[in-house]
Amino acid sequence: MSASPPSRPSPRRLAGRALSLCLAVVGFLLLARGVAASNAAVGLGQASRDPLSVPRWLYVATGGVTIGASALLASFVTDRRFVLSIHRWHETLPDWESAYRAGTLALNALGLVLLALVVYRGLVGPQIPTVNLAVVFVFAGMRAGLTMFAYLVGNPWPALNPWRAVAERLPNGFLDYPEALGRWPAVAGLLALVWVETTTPVTSDPSLLAAAVGGYSVLTVVGAVAVGVDDWFGNVDPVSVFFAFYGRAAPLSWSDGRPRLHLPGMRLVGDDGYGDDESAAPTWGMDDVAFAVALVWELTYSGFVTTAQGGAAVRALVGVGLPPAVVYGGLYLAGFAAFYGAYALAARASASRLRTYREARELAVRFAPALLAIAAGYHLAHYFAFFVSLSPSLFTVLASPLSVPPNPLVLTLPAWMGGLNIAFVLGGHLLAIWVAHSTAYRLFPSRLQAIESQYPFVFVMMAYTAISLWLISLPTAPPPFLP
């Protein structure tokens, strides 16, 4: 076919693009300045001579407006080729096949050693959470550090996973995994694990944590041997699915044993139909949507119950006569249902507003990866400071795992770290906006439809941002009624 495309963009187009980029940057900086100012005000909330105190609702609204305005600015980018080139860009790095094999074996061994250490030190080590290897490694190392590595660099869990290393070397796959279950077991598992983390003393009682990890190991290996390694770790094991989902936001991935570098978050935009990368866009279902929403929700929930206001809400509900466990459980499940419902409603609104035969379900599934960028931003906001302040303890316990560290060191962080949290939350949302924009251009032949299809999702994202910014602005307190 013979249209004659110019070999490169015309000067006029370039100028237009530069202008819209400038607009985007200026607009964002103007809005971001407002947020930064409001953050300082929130941080100094009690200081009476504070020259600029911004009411909390205004700070929260500014965050929402930032997301909405960014979505509008993104909609100025209507050049399909540019959108495509951003998410398709990749470098295939040199082939390190032998290094990959050796590295996988070494990581397998490392994972097994660490699992043994967690159980052993948890049971016989000092029963003090800040110096016990089990607690420090599981929460500062895995929950915070390894998860950050999974979305900032690449997902090392498949190689590190000790349960997989064991189950793979045993005869496995005696039962057929029921396809109808999809990834729902992992959704339930993730919700259950976060529930255990929030309401039981696993974070403060090393021997309980060791027992829980031991029990989980037995369950996982037995399950993986029963239904087969791939089915178990792909659909049931919440830890593996957790890392795999976060890993999709990472720039580095392995394809055929070769590392491949994408722009951060751009692997979230699935390639449908033609293209070089079909395997990178697995067909998702509503179970995957639920898992992505659960990742966003669990961070919001653990943020909520650790604020003074969240504690007050729990106390008020308990005061009415409800048992604390019911209050925590009810808030947890009701909040998840609300987040999931809001997202599903957005998909329905998007499908019904457009003249298209694409169904709400398909739109929900296709736009869901954008939620992973949001979850990564929240995770960084919740765990970055925690990880940095505990990293000396982590290195101490890993350097001498069998001895008790004489003087555990916990860093005190400067106050401006609080401002970073706002940047992380907004950054995750801005990435999600671009992922949604790029996805919409893959779905709709009409560019106006592509723009309009995003509106309901943008509103949901604005709501998520507002809630999250509100939570990180509140003073923290230990949750009441919990051991």
Partner 1 sequence: MNPEERRDERKASRESGPNGEASSMTETTRGATDRRTEPNADAVSNPPESYACRVCGRAFPESRLLVLHRGVRHANALTDGEKEAYVEAYREEEAELHSFRIRALAVLVVLYFGVLFLYIGFAG
Binding site for partner 1 (CB under 8 A): 1, 3-6, 27, 30-31, 34, 37-38, 41, 52-55, 58, 61-62, 65, 68-69, 72-73, 75-76, 78-82, 84, 272-276, 278, 283, 355-359, 362, 445-449, 451
Contact 147, 196 (CB under 8 A): no
Shorter beta-carbon distance to partner 1: residue 46 or 283:
283
Beta carbon of residue 440, minimum distance to partner 1 (angstroms, whole number):
13
Beta carbon of residue 283, minimum distance to partner 1 (angstroms, whole number):
7
Beta carbon of residue 65, minimum distance to partner 1 (angstroms, whole number):
6
Shorter beta-carbon distance to partner 1: residue 121 or 262:
262
Q: Which of 439, 422, 418 is nearest to 372 (CA)?
A: 439
Beta-bridged to residue 92, according to DSSP, are 260
Beta carbon of residue 36, minimum distance to partner 1 (angstroms, whole number):
12
Contact 111, 119 (CB under 8 A): no
Shorter beta-carbon distance to partner 1: residue 26 or 109:
26
Helix orientation angle between 360-367 and 447-473, rounded to the nearest 10 degrees: 60
Positive or negative torsion for Cα 318, 323, 324, 328: negative
Shorter beta-carbon distance to partner 1: residue 45 or 341:
45
Shorter beta-carbon distance to partner 1: residue 168 or 362:
362
Beta carbon of residue 365, minimum distance to partner 1 (angstroms, whole number):
10
Helix orientation angle between 184-199 and 238-247, rounded to the nearest 10 degrees: 100
Beta-bridged to residue 476, according to DSSP, are 307
Measured distance CA(399)–CA(146) in Å, rounded:
17
Shorter beta-carbon distance to partner 1: residue 76 or 481:
76
Shorter beta-carbon distance to partner 1: residue 12 or 81:
81
The Cα angle at residue 129 between residues 128 and 132, in degrees rounded to 5: 80
Beta carbon of residue 13, minimum distance to partner 1 (angstroms, whole number):
9
Shorter beta-carbon distance to partner 1: residue 30 or 170:
30
Positive or negative torsion for Cα 278, 284, 289, 290: negative
**Tokens 């998909």, residue?**
347
Concatenating the DSSP letter of every residue in 139-198 gives IIIIIIIIHHHHHHT---HHHH-HHHHHHHTS----S---GGGTTHHHHHHHHHHHHHHH
- Residues contacting 356, CB < 8 A, separation 6+: 444, 449
Contact 245, 155 (CB under 8 A): no
Beta carbon of residue 346, minimum distance to partner 1 (angstroms, whole number):
19
Question: One-letter amino acid identity for 67?
Answer: I
Shorter beta-carbon distance to partner 1: residue 17 or 315:
17
Q: Please give the distance of CA 415 from its chain centroid, rounded to a whole number.
A: 24
Beta carbon of residue 330, minimum distance to partner 1 (angstroms, whole number):
35
**Backbone dihedral angles phi then psi of residue 262, each to the nearest 5 degrees:** -115, 170
Beta carbon of residue 163, minimum distance to partner 1 (angstroms, whole number):
32
Beta carbon of residue 121, minimum distance to partner 1 (angstroms, whole number):
48
Q: Is 395 left (phi over 0), alpha (psi -120 to 50) or beta?
A: alpha
Contact 17, 9 (CB under 8 A): yes
Shorter beta-carbon distance to partner 1: residue 5 or 171:
5
